[in-house]
Chains A and B, each alone.
Chain A
Amino acid sequence: MTALDPVVLFFLLGLIARIAKSDLRLPEALYDALAIYLLLAIGLKGGVQLAQQPLATVLPQALAAVALGAAIPLLLFPLLRAKLSRPDAASIAAHYGSVSVVTFAVAASFLAARSIDTESYMPLLVALMEAPGIVVGIVLARAGGGQRIAWGPLAHEVVFGRSVLLLLGGLVIGTLIGPEGSRPIAPLFTDLFKGVLALFLLEMGLVAGGRIGDLRRAGLFLLAFGIAAPVALGALGALVGHAIGLSPGGAALLATLAASASYIAAPTAMRIAVPEANPALSIGVALGITFPFNIFVGIPLYLQYARWIGG
């Protein structure tokens, strides 16, 4: 039996604090700073490792990740459409097509604590999987509606939004400086990573706990969806990971990405592109159900998936 993961316990503490109506509140500026740190640190780590292998060799995996991100909303949309309006179904599908970087970070640290190796280019896949699901979700929302989509501002929002910008920026900087050049910044960006992630998860617990009210309004259908979707999508991600030749650790990470729902890039983009969708539903299910589910249950399950399929 492995020791309890402090990151998970910090999340639980935040959740309890929020449910108990504690006055605990992290300053907004700290939340922003921690988020920027995490995105850069994940990008840098991947970049430094990426520097040691030719980029062209990861092209098939990169394409598969983009295709997976785009396929997820297409799979979920018909299911959601059974109970929800077109804009709501498309918006929720887009949240699940995109990815949660924090869930990825928790999964990566879960694997690292168990000395399970993963492919160095996984952070690149995170950055690549942010946008396709959002684009497909917007197209689904607008299909048949005849309304024109202003793609320019949206593309700007997604590509130059801070999550993709910092992830890709970190990857490029990491690749340019390599292992040698990264040594001076390693005390900040490598050694402190787990502690910062724990602190961020405390805040995420507070945020997720605040969405519980939304869920009461969302009803049983979305509650079931928030658990069934990651369980099924995790299996799909693990299968795709195995098919494109990832190690069990890499397949577990791809499963986590497939199973996770975005709560940063997708809500902002959908708010601009599909304003008639109710954000309380999509954010409630992504952040109130799927995020905690993945932290507590999903991540160990996806590693198990990867082992079953790989073995």
Chain B
Amino acid sequence: MQTHDRKMLVIIGEAALERSLIRDARSFGAHGYTISEVRGGGERGDREARWEADRSIEMKVICDEAVAEKLAQHVLASYAPHYAVTLFTADVGIFRPQKF
């Protein structure tokens, strides 16, 4: 079955950023996103998702390379200096190009 190349941008960050990230993804041209609650740890301690202020989310956005790049730059500039944020991209193959 034929697949089409796209980027998947994965943003892991504090749950407080959820609304802003959704707004940003939409405004930079992403057609959709998926968010799940996660927990983990890093250099500055653990985020165990035990209560409100300790929650983290993982947001996946599948889009073309240009959108992924713009969104990633925005996240790095606006949130990374003060929030716990991790992001990376991966190449993915999708089946319905009109959807992304």
- Same complex for A and B? Answer yes
Chain-A contact segment, one of B50-58, B61-69, B89-97: B50-58
For the A-B complex with A203-B51, A264-B51 known, give 12 more contacts whose Cβ atoms are closer than 8 Å.
Answer: A28-B37, A28-B49, A28-B50, A31-B51, A203-B50, A210-B50, A214-B45, A264-B53, A267-B52, A268-B16, A272-B16, A275-B81
Measured between beta carbons, the chain A residues less than 8 angstroms from B14 are 271
A33 to chain B, nearest CB (A): 13
Rank and list the top 10 A-B pairs by shortest CB-CB distance, nearest first: A267-B53, A275-B82, A271-B16, A207-B50, A276-B82, A264-B52, A207-B51, A272-B16, A268-B16, A283-B53
Measured between beta carbons, the chain B residues less than 8 angstroms from A268 are 16, 52-53
| A263 and B45 in contact, given A271-B16, A275-B83, A276-B82 (Cβ under 8 angstroms) | no
Interface residues of A in 124-156 (CB under 8 A from B): 153
| A280 and B53 in contact, given A268-B16, A275-B83 (Cβ under 8 angstroms) | no
**Interface residue? A279 (CB, 8 A):** yes
Pairwise interchain contact B45-A213, C-beta atoms closer than 8 A: yes
**Interface residue? B44 (CB, 8 A):** yes
Pairwise interchain contact B53-A271, C-beta atoms closer than 8 A: yes
CA distance A213 to B48 in the complex (A): 13
- A-B pairs with CB below 8 Å: how many? 43
Interface residues of B in 1-51 (CB under 8 A from A): 14, 16, 19, 37, 44-45, 48-51
Interface size on B, residues (CB 8 A): 17
**Interface residue? A80 (CB, 8 A):** no
B24 to chain A, nearest CB (A): 14
- Residues of A near any B CB (own CB < 8 A): 25, 28, 31, 153, 203, 206-207, 210, 213-214, 263-264, 267-268, 271-272, 275-276, 279-280, 283
Measured between beta carbons, the chain A residues less than 8 angstroms from B54 are 207
| A210 and B48 in contact, given A272-B16, A276-B82 (Cβ under 8 angstroms) | yes
Taken residue by residue from 65 to 100, chain B's Cβ proximity to chain A (1 for < 8 Å, 0 otherwise) reads as: 000000000000001011100000000000000000
- Residues of B near any A CB (own CB < 8 A): 14, 16, 19, 37, 44-45, 48-54, 79, 81-83
Which one, B16, B19, B53, B83, contacts A263 given CB within 8 A?
Answer: B53
B20 to chain A, nearest CB (A): 8
Q: List 26 A-B contacts (CB under 8 A).
A: A25-B50, A28-B50, A153-B19, A203-B51, A206-B50, A207-B50, A207-B51, A207-B54, A210-B48, A210-B50, A213-B45, A264-B51, A264-B52, A267-B52, A268-B16, A268-B53, A271-B14, A271-B53, A271-B83, A272-B16, A275-B79, A275-B81, A275-B82, A275-B83, A276-B81, A276-B82
B67 to chain A, nearest CB (A): 24
Which single residue of chain B is at the shortest CB-CB distance from A25?
B50
Pairwise interchain contact B50-A31, C-beta atoms closer than 8 A: yes
CA distance A279 to B15 in the complex (A): 13
